[in-house]
Each structure stands twice: as structure tokens, then as C-alpha cells.
Chains A and B, each alone.
Chain A
């Protein structure tokens, strides 16, 4: 199979799912599934964060960064401050040889 064809097929398996989800907004759903969709951000964000921290080869430093950043964001509700603080803590842990 030629490379341009592979690239086109990659697009062809990605785009329709994005479109399908966005097209189902007017679907009438029972309460259970409405609740399901309410929890999607919580479950997806957690699933994006934890493996990226604990599953990393530098997990100890990242854990320090994530705990510091998370604590900052919890106390201040400020996204940029949390990211910068977490990144600083990550670097401190890294410089400390963790």
C-alpha cells in the first residue's frame, strides 16, 4: 500500500467518529445517559492525567509536579498558575535528582 493512501486512510478512520459524536447532540436520551455524559469530562481528564504521570519513565518527578500543581489549582482555581507551579516543582524535583 502506498504511503499517501495510508495517510488518507488514517484520516478516513479519524474524521467520521469526530463528526458522528458532534452530530448526535439532538438525540433524546434517558436520564441515565444524560448523567453518563455529565461524567465524561471527569472520567476522561482523569484517564488522560494518571497514566501520563504514573506510567511515565520519570514518574517520580512528574508526581511531584502533578501534586504541587493540583494543590495550587485547588487552592487558587487558577489554571496558568497551577501549570507554571507544577512545572517549577517538576524541575525542582529533577534538579534535586529525583
Chain B
């Protein structure tokens, strides 16, 4: 690794600090759920080290506690995490990764890292780079696993994290990423349709699948409108295409 690696790495790492506030209670709550479902300390930690996806870890811990079938748990995990395909696709468009970087970046990819990096990466002095992405990813990985361990070991002695109302931190963080992207009527429409569509779908489908479907549906709608307006503009070369800020 070159000496140019660490400055953007640490900027990526620090970028995620505001989200730690929501991450710690979430991981502690996961660990408590897993331990009460009968998972050992090592098994609880192993899931955070490998699968590393909050919502599906929660779901799996709950299902294990309820005595669900193994295949049901694995299939639920698959449904919940299929949305990560979309994050990879979207990130890879703007950040070409080498053959060696991809398998590393893939292991630590999450909703939060994707969101923060896709919006803030281009503003970094080094641009949207692998070290910046990895810093953001490992920031969450380290705190998620540390808080999992804390929850496993000290669980019973800790205050109930839900009671602190920190559940509202995550929607607020994503709202903060969304607001600056609402720059025209199409993006506003896409946000409304995706958001309300996801709310409707969430009554009948698991969360991760909802985000995948609403995410794809909303982006299709936006692409349809934008492509049509670009084609109308095409003869005169039109206005420049809107870039993500």
C-alpha cells in the first residue's frame, strides 16, 4: 500500500462517525436477541464478522429464537440482502475497482457505507476512491463488531437501547443523504414514488426485498422520464445531463 492510501482511508473512516451513534445500540440489540435465541458468544460474533448486514442478522436471530427452519432463515437472508447487488452496480459505475480490490470492498458493503460514499466520495480531495470506500466500510465493520461483542458480554447490564429512541437516527441519516439529491422534478417524483411504494410494500414483504423492489421501480421510473427528455433534446445536443452532486 502506498502512503497515499491512508489519508483518504481515514477521511472515509471518520465520515461514518455520526452513524456510530445509531450503530452501537443496533448491534447491542442484535447481540441480545441472538444470545437470548441460544446462540453462543462466538456464534453471535461470527454472524457479525461474516454476513455483516444488520437487518438480516436481526431477522435471523429472531427466527432462530422462534425455531424457524434453517432453509427459511437462509432464504430470508438472501431476500433481505439482494439489494446489495444494486449498491455494487451503482458504486462500480463511478468507482472502477481492480480485481484485487473488489473481493475486499464486497465483504464490507452496507446500506450506510454505500449511501455515505456515493454522496460524499466525489467531494473528497482524492475523489471517489477505493481507500475512501474501504475506510467508510471498515468504520462500520469495526464498530458493528465491537458493539456486538459488547452486547454479547455485557448485555444484561446495559440499558435497553430501543428506549433511547435511537431508532430514528437511521432514517434521519438517509434523509440527510436524500435531501441534497432532490434537485429537480424527476428526482422528487422518484423519491415520492419509491418512498410511498416501499411503505405500501413493507406491509406485505420483508424489508430488504422492499428496498430492492422500490429502489428498482423508482429508478426505472426516473430513467424512463430522463431518457425521454434527453431524446427530445438530442437533435440540438440538448442541455448537459444531470450529474449526481
Residues of B within 8 A of A53 (CB): 168, 171
Could you say which of B47, B88, B191, B214 contacts A21, with CB atoms under 8 Å apart? B88
Could you say which of B90, B181, B191, B199 contacts A51, with CB atoms under 8 Å apart? B199
Which residue of chain A has the shortest Cβ distance to B50 in the bound complex?
A11
B76 to chain A, nearest CB (A): 9
A17 to chain B, nearest CB (A): 4
Which residue of chain B has the shortest Cβ distance to A68 in the bound complex?
B172
B48 to chain A, nearest CB (A): 10
Residues of A within 8 A of B92 (CB): 21-26
Q: Is the interface of A mostly helix, strand, loop or mixed?
A: helix
Residues of B within 8 A of A10 (CB): 47, 50-51, 56, 60, 73-74, 77
Which residue of chain A has the shortest Cβ distance to B177 in the bound complex?
A45
Give A25-45 as 1s and 0s: 1 = Cβ < 8 Å from B's Cβ atoms.
110000111111111111111
Could you say which of B96, B170, B176, B219 contacts A36, with CB atoms under 8 Å apart? B219
Are A80 and B88 interface neighbours, CB within 8 A? no
Total interface residues in chain A, CB < 8 Å: 68
Q: For the complex, is A47 an interface residue (Cβ under 8 Å from B)?
A: yes
Could you say which of B51, B102, B244 contacts A38, with CB atoms under 8 Å apart? B244
CA distance A38 to B230 in the complex (A): 14
Are A37 and B199 interface neighbours, CB within 8 A? no
Q: For the complex, is A96 an interface residue (Cβ under 8 Å from B)?
A: no
Give B25-66 as 1s and 0s: 1 = Cβ < 8 Å from A's Cβ atoms.
000000000000001000100110011110010001000100
Residues of A within 8 A of B187 (CB): 39, 42
Q: List 17 A-B contacts (CB under 8 A).
A: A3-B64, A14-B81, A15-B106, A17-B82, A19-B106, A22-B105, A35-B223, A35-B227, A41-B90, A43-B190, A43-B214, A46-B218, A48-B170, A62-B167, A86-B168, A86-B172, A90-B165
Q: Beyond A66-B171, A70-B179, A82-B176: 11 further Cβ-contacts under 8 Å?
A: A7-B50, A17-B88, A22-B106, A25-B97, A32-B227, A38-B219, A44-B83, A47-B210, A61-B168, A70-B175, A90-B168
Listed in ascending order, the chain A residues whose CB lies under 8 Å from chain B are: 1, 3-11, 13-15, 17-26, 31-56, 58, 61-62, 65-66, 69-70, 73-74, 77, 79-80, 82-83, 86-87, 90-91, 94
